[in-house]
Chains A and B, each alone.
Chain A
Amino acid sequence: MKSRSRSSAGSAESPKKSSVKAGAQIIVDTLLEQGVDTMFGYPGGVVLPFFDRLYDAPIKFVIPRHEQGGCHMADGYARASGKVGVVVATSGPGACNLTTGLATAMMDSVPIVALTGQVRTELIGNDAFQEADTTGITRPVTKYNCIVKDVNDLARIIREAFYIASTGRSGPVLIDIPLDVQVARCETASSVKMELPGYRVRPEGHAKQISAAAAAINASERPVLYVGGGVISANATDELRAMAEKAHLPVTTTLLGLGSYDQSKPESLDMLGMHGSAYANYAVQECDLLIAVGARFDDRVTGKLKDFAPNAKIVHIDVDPSSISKNVKVDIPVVGDAKHILAELINEVEYREREKWFKKIAEWKKKFPFSYDRNASTVKPQYVVDEVCRQTDGKAIITTGVGQNQMWAAQFYRFSRPRQLISSGGLGTMGYGLPAAIGAQVARPDETVIDIDGDHSFNMTMTELRTAVENELPIKVCILNNGYMGMVRQWQELFYNKRYSKSYLSNPDYANVAEALGAVGITVDKKADVSGAVKKMLSEKNRPCVVDFKVEREENVWPMVPAGKSLNEMDGLDILESLA
């Protein structure tokens, strides 16, 4: 079993003595047995037996203002801690509200166990009050889901849920539990075996394939290591660094891979893809070997597939066999746990200087760095991120909204350790940043957690600010307030003749909103005030703090690979070059 899965999740035996218990109590006991000490959720009619059992259970419980927020909190908690996030919701509307959060977690392989109440078994299918076909609705957005119809299966199924969520390619699992199953009593056995004949986890890579990968690396003149979020979920960043150092490889990461490799190292190429660095994209297009680890060749990464890494042999290390050769034909597939495979690779790779290759990369880096007009009199959004990074010494946990704010956070914050960036990459869920920050702060009470957000992303879930206030979570929110759905506006500027169709709406005074909800609110509209506001924000220790940065309204994210173009066809390089 993989090292990251909780030890108890995989064990077939439960140490508990047998006794007769109600389903609701079995749920609580099984959660405790799985090591759950924190969960998120919202009550409702058909989960009342469970909530009653929670009344004096030793589980910290955070109530969001909306179940979507609760699911994102469980997600942020899971990403920040490496543990399984747990969320509970009632049937019908409660379960429906989880779907965006589940889809977000599914796309980014985040381990979550979601428990939903369901109407009584005999009412199912009758369009009963607050009935929804929860397993039907959530099937495509979960790794697995099922409904429990017999209380005797409850403990086993919850155990299985934790095991499935946290092993292999992790992901959300939903268990739907009808009211009568929570009330029914049964003998709880002292040992319950998991019954998952169709679920296999392959921790070890094939030795032959690993050797083939090592040989390809050793033979390569122009290699690139392309790292995704899978390396972080496999807790394999130490092995990654050691392997990259030993073989002497340049390293680029996806958005979700940021933090897996210290960006201050000269071998770091930063992020690749649509808004990735010019040097990463050029390096990928010119490399003779691309070693993908825990990444899935997403279209935001590859650009036009036909032209992607045209000269490269491709090695792909991934725990999910279906990721391999899904988009890009792979030459050397290695299926298994990244931690194990990278550790094996370290033994077989050899150091090579690759002087010419690194020289070329250094030239690209010098010519096209991420940059912006530092002399501008306005508040540049990139400057805000720069300043936040400087004052936190690059050590904060960063969550993001979706859009330009997300890309600037990825480009200008410098990440050095895993689980430091928490962002909705695959689904691109606006409104993720704030609740994810809350979940992350719950998991990491001693760290500085900052949501770098967009005004419209923040609008979607800002009600959760009150959840942070109530739980005394000193999260920070930096709204890069351009008054636009900036990323939409950028596309309209570039591809729709500047027709800004429905891409802005009126925003509230965020500082007032923050104060009204019990948080600290600051407004910044002058460049000279940015640094002081960040300082004040970081000094808040018990209350959340929202800083509304009124940034340059029509700033664009560069470089940009237009959709459907290949990675080396980037726009905005002239701008970057002139600012370098």
Chain B
Amino acid sequence: MKHIISALVENKSGVLAHVAGMFAARAFNIDSLVVGRTEDPKLSRMTIVVIGDDRVLEQVRKQLAKVVPVVKVQDFVGKPVVARDLMLISISAPPEKRPEILPLIEMFKGKVVDIGPKFVMVEVSGPEAKIEAFINICKPYGIKSVARTGTIAMPRQAQTDS
């Protein structure tokens, strides 16, 4: 099962290595890992998507919390969260295909961010499933390249009582 883990960590050098090293040493499976700044300049947030059963995830949470510069660990599994990926995708789109492709982009609330004679670059964000669906729909046209951020997430209002 996929779990989205959110870890507040100290914003200093070496922290990513501590966390990534622990995951590798303990043979935990990282699906994606995103690090970014937070509202507090001393803290960063890592959002880590991990796949594993309950026992593995219990260890992931505990081992993560044990890493000295990790301040707080939350597992969003089973909780209402907003989870988003951001993707840039470059699709083969010669002029004759564009009337077909543009409505698809529209349907996915994608944004054309660059356009060339043969390709369009599209920005799409949303839940992972939506991103995957968009990739699948683009496949028949030819995908030149994809860059994805990995998931970031935040619990919905009712849940953030702490």
Contacts and interface: CB of A to CB of B under 8 A. Distances in A.
Contacts of B137: none
A198 B14 contact: no
B136 interface: no
A198 B17 contact: no
Contacts of A518: none
B65 A321 contact: yes
Nearest to B9: A198
A376 interface: no
Contacts of B17: 135-136, 139
A149 B70 CA distance: 20
Nearest to A133: B17
A324 B63 CA distance: 11
Contacts of A198: 9-10, 67-72
B25 interface: yes
Contacts of A377: none
Nearest to B62: A322
Interface string B11-40: 001100110010001000000000000000
A197 interface: yes
B59 interface: yes
B132 interface: no
Interface string B66-91: 11111110000000000000000000
A135 B17 CA distance: 10
Contacts of A322: 59, 62-63, 65-66
B128 to A, nearest CB: 29
A147 interface: yes
A146 interface: yes
Contact of B18 (A139, A147, A196, A197): A139
Given A140-B25, A198-B9, A325-B55, A147 B68 contact: no
Given A321-B62, A322-B62, A135 B67 contact: no
Interface string A174-205: 00000000000000000000001111000000
A143 interface: yes
A321 B65 CA distance: 9
A143 B59 contact: no
Nearest to A140: B25
Contacts of B69: 198
A146 B9 contact: no
A360 interface: no
Interface string A134-154: 011001100110110100000
Interface residues of B, number: 22
Contacts of B42: 197
A439 to B, nearest CB: 26
A164 interface: yes
B71 A197 contact: yes
A144 B68 contact: yes
Contacts of B14: 135, 146-147
A306 interface: no
A324 B18 CA distance: 22
A352 interface: no
Nearest to A199: B68
A199 B70 CA distance: 8
B58 A140 contact: no
A136 B9 CA distance: 19
Nearest to A320: B66
Contact of B68 (A135, A140, A164, A326): A164
Contacts of A143: 68
A3 to B, nearest CB: 22
B55 to A, nearest CB: 7
Contacts of B67: 198
A146 to B, nearest CB: 6
Interface in A350-382: none
Contacts of B71: 197-198
Contacts of B55: 325
B132 to A, nearest CB: 33
Given A136-B17, A139-B17, A139-B18, A326 B59 contact: yes
The 7 nearest A-B residue pairs measured at CB: A322-B62, A198-B71, A144-B68, A140-B25, A198-B70, A197-B71, A139-B21
Given A140-B21, A147-B14, 11 more contacts: A136-B17, A139-B18, A144-B68, A146-B14, A198-B9, A198-B68, A198-B71, A199-B68, A321-B62, A324-B62, A325-B58
22 contacts: A139-B21, A140-B25, A143-B68, A144-B68, A147-B14, A149-B13, A164-B68, A197-B42, A197-B71, A198-B9, A198-B10, A198-B71, A198-B72, A320-B66, A321-B66, A322-B62, A322-B63, A322-B65, A322-B66, A324-B62, A325-B55, A326-B59
